[in-house]
Amino acid sequence: MRAFIPPTVLERLAELSQSVADKQSFGIIALNKQAIVKIFNETESRLSGLSKAEVMGRNFFTEVAPCTASRLFRGRFRQGQNDGALDEHFYYTFTYRIRPISAHVHMLYNPQQNPLLFIFIDRIIQLYEDLG
């Protein structure tokens, strides 16, 4: 999978705040250990159609995006919490009550740099999609 996160972001995870996240052109969501949303950037808000107010402080898997309460998505989150670190890439197709969209998901957890688990989302524009 093609890496989409600039090294300046990856190498400075400790400094990845809401304001820094808002400047990025891909989706960024950060969760604490209880899966509560702590960062939800402007790009993710615009592309998902969810406002920050609807999302911040809520449980990501049960209240924000129930379609991610799956073995693959939530399973990786739990794996990261159990292992104390995570750096995983996978494709995920969001179908739940939205226009279906596939995305490259990069889940990153490095508690030595930042106590939050980051979910970076790069949506795939499908070539056969009718853009008219």
Residues at the interface with other proteins (CB under 8 A)? 62, 66-67, 69-73, 89-93, 95-97, 100, 102, 105, 124
- For residue 37, the minimal CB distance to other proteins (Å) is 16
**What is the total residue count of the chain?**
132
In this complex, which beta carbon is closest to other proteins, that of residue 16 or of residue 104? 104
Residue 26 or residue 92: which is nearer to other proteins going by CB? 92
Shortest separation between residue 102's beta carbon and other proteins, angstroms: 4
CB of 106 to other proteins, least distance (A): 11
Residue closer to other proteins (CB basis): 25 or 126: 126
Choice between 43 and 68, CB closer to other proteins: 68
DSSP lists the bridge partners of residue 29 as: 40, 119
Tokens 């995920």 correspond to 92
> How does 57-96 read in b/e, with b if 16+ C-beta sit within 10 Å?
eeebbeebbeebbeeebbebbeebbeeeebeeeeebebee
For 76, the 3-state DSSP assignment is helix
